[in-house]
Structure 1
Amino acid sequence: MKLNKKAIILVVFLSTLQVCSQEILTKKEALKITLKNNFGIKIANNNIEVASNNKSIYNTGFLPTVSASSGANYRKGDQTNKREGEVAATNEAITKSYNASISLNYTIFDGLGRKYNYQQLKETYNLTELQAKETIENTYLQLFTVYFQIARFSNNTDNLSEALAISKRRMQRAKYQYEYGQSTRLELLNAEVDVNNDSIALINSKQLLSNAKRGLNVVLGTQKDVNYNVETNVSFNKLLVFDELRIKTLSNNTVLKQNEKNIAISEFNVKVNKSNYLPSLGLNTSYGWNKSENPAGAFFGASTSSFSGINAGLSLSWNLFDGGSTKTRVSNAKIALVNQQILLEQQKVNVENNLKNTWENYRNQLFVLKAQETNVLTAENNFKRTEERFKLGQVSSVEFRQAQINFINSKTAFNNVKFDAKLIELKLLQLSGDILNVKF
């Protein structure tokens, strides 16, 4: 008896050690890894950085331009001079000249085009942030779709393992009964077929589980070993109210917010094009130095001259008529603005309709989840009673097998509905703009 106890303790210890060897990837850890390594999120963050560079003051035209230049010339050649009818020639005359300057140019007024362009760039940056947020939201949903798929396959695999264990016990029982002449070989063959079918179902489920884990690694952006488990517990937000979701959706939905930014960008685009109707005023100033060395000629001696000083000026330009191109651009910009406004109204209708459909689907799934939970209890109770009667020889193996299948199918159906309902809940939170605030 002491030996048996020691053996039981050893088996329990080894089983615990095997379970602990598999890492548990929690939902919170999966989110952390995804936000850090996901390829799509990395690209979205880079796009935000580009938009930030574009809206900086260095890209607006508000700063002046400063340039410097310098040069030197050397000339050697024969020179002929004519003065009062006399002609004189100088051979190998050398002329040298030097120059250096620094200049500053600044546009004082350009019809407010710079101002509206800068505001347009800031709205473009805000739009890029919203696009990145949408990418993150979609990645959240993608992550948990795969994560809960792994949880689903894990539970289903456990159910199929349980079914296979039951079938093996039944086959062993049929084998003993056949050996002692208490049943026919047909009962044993039927039991063997059911064991084979359950084994095949279990192998296929394990393959689906492995594939899903590799798919999760793609979302995580890692090459992590697939030998890990996930959390299978699911809790639902019981505080969701449709009217509150609708208000949040119309105010915070990422797609609608992007359309609003597109309208703002289009409004500034109209103003940018209108700025071409106004004149532009520019300032230019420079400081320069020039020096030249001239050779001696027949009528004059060698000379050197230099000049240094400041040069400044204002320039005003006004395109009074450009053939109507500005008028055309303004008209087209106004049409583009109207189209963006129409698109916003269309998106509001689509998003609100999607919210209603998703909400109704969510409520139905919660109802089905309760019904499936009841079915599991009923099927489990029916299976246990059938199993007891089967051991007593009061039901056939066919009836026992059917009760077993009903029990496993009810548990599988419950798992499927549970995870489907949670994903629909996350979709509701995405529509309302709250998915990034989910706590796991």
Structure 2
Amino acid sequence: MKKFYLLFILSIVFGHDIAAQENLLSKEEAVVTTLQNNFNIVVAKNNVEIAENNTGILNSGYLPTLTGTAGANYNRDDSTIEFPGRLDDNGNPFPDVELEKAEAQRYNTAIRADYVLFDGLGRFYNYKRLKEQYQLSELQARETIENTILQLFSVYFEIARLTENQKVLLQALEISQDRIKRAEYSFEYGQNTQLDILNAQVDVTNDSINLLNANQNLANAKRDLNVILNQDLNNTFKVDTVVRFIPRLQLDEFVKLTNNNNVAVLQSERSLAINDYDIKVSRSGYLPTIGLTGAYGWNLNQSAASAFFPGTNTNNLNFAVGANLTWNLFDGGGTTVRVKNAKISYANQELTRKQIELEVNRDILNALAIYENRLNIYQIQEQNVVTNRNNFERSEEQFKLGRITSIEFRQAQINLLNAQTNKNLAKYDAKLAELQLLQLTGQLLNIEL
């Protein structure tokens, strides 16, 4: 049994040593890799590129259109022309005329240019609308990036928490293993019973299971992070467990500028601008459209000979320019309806913007309160660890002197273990609350974590 426990502990410690040799994945490297590889971010960037293409001159409607046409026709006829009842000068029936392989060919080519000089300012405001749509796409991409970065650090700090818990559980296992040795020595010298050895072995088993579960959870969390980073799922690494909190004065400054930086508020403003341009585009239907046209063409017509006329070849070049004005004086009320609906949509978007600002301000207050609460809990848990460590050290001294039982010592050990893991949880909970607050203030991508 003693050999079994020794091999079991060595296997766990050896695995921990391998993990300690992994390369460090810093927060900065994790962010850079995510920005480059994450699928959602790549898709968001592609959508921004599409919006940018839509704002180009080629999609503005300000360029003329050129249309080229060409055609060719070939006809071949075999004809017999009869003249029933018709007599020649001698009184004989007029002979039939046969035309064989009578060929006719037609060729044509032309190029036409059309340009709209004025369309009621519709394309002007539509171009402005596309510019706003591009800015909205950038904000949507930023929102995707912020959500992904927040997800990244949620998993990153979970790995950090499990890593610190792993160290705590390993220390607990080493202490329990040392208890077995002490219990065996004391049993050999008749100072305790076999029950003390069995109790120590039970504690070693429990601590070993807890450490194995922690190792498994840590491996799972690393695979979750590899998915976000879009890299090999079996890639191994260790993370930075150092956490730095932003000074409260700086957070207060961020909170004051929330409405200027929050991505949801900025998106609502861009949507409102788009709705405003929709009204102006709809109003363009009240105004006339003025356009220019120009055409240049070539035609060749080779006609076949007939019974009475010889074949002819006609070669024609033509050039034409023109201007046109179109004014839809009454379109059945369609333009009026579109303008009214666009104004209603604008009013709805204005209400939506106010609603978003109200919700963001509420979320800011909630996030700030949650952050302060979690930070206070973390500070309390830090002090709790100090208290339980002092209690454990004194209990350990008393246990070695035989003044307390192994059960009392084990309870002091469990209290310290719980205090340490609770402190780790409180620390990363507070940091995540801070990150959520930074996202709401629009500063998540502007600060160094």
TM over 0.5: yes
Q: Does 1:268 align with 2:277?
A: yes
Q: How far does residue 294 in structure 1 lie from its aligned partner after superposition? A: 2.1
Q: How far does residue 298 in structure 1 lie from its aligned partner after superposition? A: 3.8
| In structure 2, distance between residues paired with 1:180 and 1:17 | 35
| In structure 2, distance between residues paired with 1:200 and 1:276 | 75
Aligned-pair identity in percent equals: 47
Q: Is the 8 A contact 2:154 2:432 kept in 1?
A: yes
Q: Is the 8 A contact 1:71 1:99 kept in 2?
A: yes
| In structure 1, distance between residues paired with 2:31 and 2:306 | 87
When structure 1 is superposed on structure 2, of 218-227 and 419-428 the one drifting more is 218-227
Quote the RMSD (CA, aligned, Å): 2.2
- Which residue of structure 1 aligns with residue 9 of structure 2? none
Question: Which of 192, 199, 222 is the aligned partner of 1:213?
Answer: 222
**Cα distance change of structure 1 residues 136 and 309 upon mapping to structure 2, 3 Å threshold:** same
When structure 1 is superposed on structure 2, of 270-279 and 387-396 the one drifting more is 270-279
- The one-letter code matched in structure 2 to 1:91 is L
- 1:344-363 to 2 correspondence within 5 Å? 344-363=353-372
When structure 1 is superposed on structure 2, of 37-46 and 190-199 the one drifting more is 190-199
TM-score, normalised to structure 2, is: 0.90
When structure 1 is superposed on structure 2, of 158-167 and 53-62 the one drifting more is 53-62
**Cα distance change of structure 1 residues 366 and 16 upon mapping to structure 2, 3 Å threshold:** closer
| In structure 2, distance between residues paired with 1:55 and 1:377 | 61
| In structure 2, distance between residues paired with 1:302 and 1:416 | 99
- Which residue of structure 1 aligns with residue 245 of structure 2? 236
SS of 1:183's partner is: coil
- Which residue of structure 1 aligns with residue 405 of structure 2? 396
| In structure 2, distance between residues paired with 1:302 and 1:229 | 92
SS of 2:413's partner is: helix
- 1:165-204 to 2 correspondence within 5 Å? 165-204=174-213
Q: Is the 8 A contact 1:81 1:298 kept in 2?
A: no
- The one-letter code matched in structure 1 to 2:418 is N
Q: How far does residue 243 in structure 1 lie from its aligned partner after superposition? A: 4.5
| In structure 1, distance between residues paired with 2:376 and 2:284 | 60
Q: How far does residue 406 in structure 1 lie from its aligned partner after superposition? A: 0.9
- The one-letter code matched in structure 2 to 1:51 is A
Q: How far does residue 297 in structure 1 lie from its aligned partner after superposition? A: 3.2
- 1:293-308 to 2 correspondence within 5 Å? 293-308=302-317
Q: Does 1:91 align with 2:96?
A: no
- Which residue of structure 2 aligns with residue 69 of structure 1? 69
Q: Does 1:50 align with 2:50?
A: yes
- 1:259-338 to 2 correspondence within 5 Å? 259-338=268-347
Q: How far does residue 225 in structure 1 lie from its aligned partner after superposition? A: 3.6
| In structure 2, distance between residues paired with 1:81 and 1:429 | 98
Question: Which of 387, 398, 401 is the aligned partner of 1:378?
Answer: 387
Q: Deviations over 1:287-311 (max 9, x none)?
A: 0111212233343333221210211
SS of 1:105's partner is: strand
**Cα distance change of structure 1 residues 80 and 104 upon mapping to structure 2, 3 Å threshold:** farther
| In structure 2, distance between residues paired with 1:246 and 1:434 | 10
SS of 2:332's partner is: coil
| In structure 1, distance between residues paired with 2:80 and 2:437 | 90
Q: How far does residue 314 in structure 1 lie from its aligned partner after superposition? A: 1.6
**Cα distance change of structure 1 residues 81 and 75 upon mapping to structure 2, 3 Å threshold:** farther
When structure 1 is superposed on structure 2, of 168-177 and 102-111 the one drifting more is 168-177
- The one-letter code matched in structure 2 to 1:30 is A
TM-score, normalised to structure 1, is: 0.92
SS of 1:435's partner is: coil
- The one-letter code matched in structure 1 to 2:58 is Y
Structure 1's consecutive aligned runs of 4 or more residues displaced over 6 angstroms after TM superposition are 14-17, 85-88
- Which residue of structure 1 aligns with residue 38 of structure 2? 38
The aligned length equals: 425
Question: Which of 99, 109, 114 is the aligned partner of 1:105?
Answer: 114
Q: How far does residue 224 in structure 1 lie from its aligned partner after superposition? A: 5.4
- Which residue of structure 1 aligns with residue 266 of structure 2? 257
Q: How far does residue 240 in structure 1 lie from its aligned partner after superposition? A: 3.7
Q: How far does residue 242 in structure 1 lie from its aligned partner after superposition? A: 5.6
SS of 2:445's partner is: helix
Q: How far does residue 79 in structure 1 lie from its aligned partner after superposition? A: 7.7
SS of 1:436's partner is: coil
Q: Does 1:163 align with 2:181?
A: no
SS of 2:257's partner is: helix
Q: How far does residue 241 in structure 1 lie from its aligned partner after superposition? A: 4.8
Q: Is the 8 A contact 1:150 1:230 kept in 2?
A: yes
Q: How far does residue 359 in structure 1 lie from its aligned partner after superposition? A: 0.6
Q: Deviations over 1:375-396 (max 9, x none)?
A: 1111111100110010001111
Q: Deviations over 1:275-328 (max 9, x none)?
A: 112111221110011121223334333322121021111222222222222222
Q: Is the 8 A contact 1:368 1:417 kept in 2?
A: yes
| In structure 2, distance between residues paired with 1:25 and 1:252 | 30
| In structure 1, distance between residues paired with 2:172 and 2:431 | 26
- Which residue of structure 2 aligns with residue 25 of structure 1? 25
Gaps of 5+ in 2: 1-13, 88-93
| In structure 1, distance between residues paired with 2:38 and 2:15 | 35
SS of 1:290's partner is: strand
When structure 1 is superposed on structure 2, of 289-298 and 391-400 the one drifting more is 289-298
Q: Is the 8 A contact 1:90 1:297 kept in 2?
A: no
Q: Deviations over 1:76-118 (max 9, x none)?
A: 2238699xx9998562332222111111111111111111111
- The one-letter code matched in structure 2 to 1:140 is I
- The one-letter code matched in structure 1 to 2:340 is S
SS of 1:146's partner is: helix
| In structure 2, distance between residues paired with 1:427 and 1:433 | 10
